[in-house]
Amino acid sequence: MSDMDLPTPDVPVDTVDPETLKSRIDAGEDVTLLDVRMESDYEEWHIEGETVESINVPYFEFLEDEIDDDVLAQIPDDREIVVLCAKGGSSEYVAAT
């Protein structure tokens, strides 16, 4: 399934461009990232930093009618999460979900 095949989110999602995210990280802001790329892509490279917490849960885990509790348990619910993917479609869908 490509980003083009994902359902359109039915709730608005705030977006942040890569330059702004990099500025936040460079400024030492605490950032929690939910990287929804495939595990192999995440293992190849992902964003790191002293103030960055990076979590990898591939987007297909969010395509089920009922998301598994184990998947949800990996995602903190007490702070802002920045969801990212390679092109933006998958992360927008997951953020809305």
Question: Any idea which residues carry the catalytic annotation?
Answer: 85
Distance set, CA 9 to CA 33, 49, 96 (Å): 19, 30, 6
What is the Cα–Cα distance from 48 to 33, expressed in whole angstroms? 10
End-to-end CA distance of the chain, in Å?
17
What is the Cα–Cα distance from 20 to 41, expressed in whole angstroms? 23
Per the DSSP assignment, residues forming a β-bridge with 89 are none
Q: How many helices (H) and strands (E) does the chain have?
A: 4, 3
